[in-house]
Structures are given as C-alpha cells and as structure tokens.
C-alpha cells in the first residue's frame, strides 16, 4: 500500500437552484458520474454529505448552489484517467451550461496519508493556500502535478 494518496477538491456554483430545469441534466447525471468514479481503478473515497444525499447536500458558506466534489485517489494517473478519459469529460465540457464562472481558482490537489479522509474545511484551507501562494507542495493544480507526479517521501 502506498504511503500517500492524492486528494482533490473541485467547487462549482450552479447557475440556478438544484431543482431548476436548466441544471437538470447535471443533477440527473451526478450519481451516474460519481458512480463511475467509484468504480475506477485507483479510486479511494468520496465525500458524500452529512445527510447521505451525496455531495450536493454539503453547503459552502450556507449557499445551496455550491457543489463541492472532494475525492481521494491512489495516485495522479488514476484521477487524470477518470477526469479526462471517461464519460466524465463530456459533462466537464458542458460545465459552462450549469455553473457560474467563479473568477478565482476552484480546484486544488494535495497529498494525504493513505487512509486519511479529508474534511471539507481541510480542503477549503488547501484551496486558500493555492489561491494565496500559487502551486506549491501543499496545494497544487494539474500543471504542477504533471511536473511533480510523485508524493512526498515517507
């Protein structure tokens, strides 16, 4: 078993309420795409909300339109395969239909000890590090990951 796994947080804010027809394609396929992710080689864990309603039940700043996606993967290759080489890509390509442009960084990755399940508060703190300091070993994006694909040494 690896000493470290890769955690990622991706935040989107819906253009409309979750029950609005304009975001129905996204909402109706969320369980399908999350289920695909759970079946992918290298998938470890996904935050699924305190109420068991999936990650759409978890709010940021009390705003129900925010959709946080917090997952853990065995390595960068597993996450990259899911994000860019599966049905997930077709939905990612349509994100402008469903989500507002946030105007600031909304995606972050970082290494966690194997077995650790990060909290949303921890993930948001990592995102703030990335926003404040840019790519670093504590919080990074895809470009940094591709140049530094290995976790820290145990």
- Which residue ranges make up each domain of the chain? 4-147
User: What's the whole-number average pLDDT of the chain?
Assistant: 90
User: pTM higher than 0.75, yes or no?
Assistant: yes
Rounded Cα distance, 132 and 99, in Å: 23
Is pLDDT at 51 greater than 70 in this prediction?
A: no
What per-residue confidence (pLDDT) applies to 154?
59
Is pLDDT at 97 greater than 90 in this prediction?
A: yes
Cα Rg of the chain, angstroms: 15
pLDDT interval class at 52 (50, 70, 90): very low
| CA-CA-CA-CA torsion sign (92, 97, 102, 104) | positive
4-147 adopts what CATH topology? Alpha-Beta Plaits (3.30.70)
Q: How far is CA 93 from CA 30, 39, 141, in A?
A: 14, 21, 18
Q: Is 115 left (phi over 0), alpha (psi -120 to 50) or beta?
A: left
């Amino acid at each position: 078993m690896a000493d470290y796994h890769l955690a990622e947080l991706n935040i989107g804010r819906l253009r409309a309420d979750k029950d609005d027809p304009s975001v129905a394609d996204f909402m109706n396929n969320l369980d399908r795409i999350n289920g695909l992710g759970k079946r992918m080689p290298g998938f470890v864990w996904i935050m699924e909300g305190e109420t068991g309603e999936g990650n759409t039940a978890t709010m940021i700043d009390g705003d129900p339109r925010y959709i946080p996606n917090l997952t853990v993967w065995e390595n960068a290759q597993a996450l990259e395969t899911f994000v860019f080489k599966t049905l997930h890509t077709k939905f990612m390509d349509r994100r402008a239909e469903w989500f507002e442009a946030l105007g600031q960084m909304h995606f972050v990755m970082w290494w966690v000890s194997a077995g650790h399940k990060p909290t949303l508060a921890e993930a948001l703190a990592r995102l703030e590090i990335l926003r404040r300091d840019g790519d670093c070993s504590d919080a990074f994006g895809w470009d940094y990951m591709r140049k530094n694909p290995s976790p820290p040494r145990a």
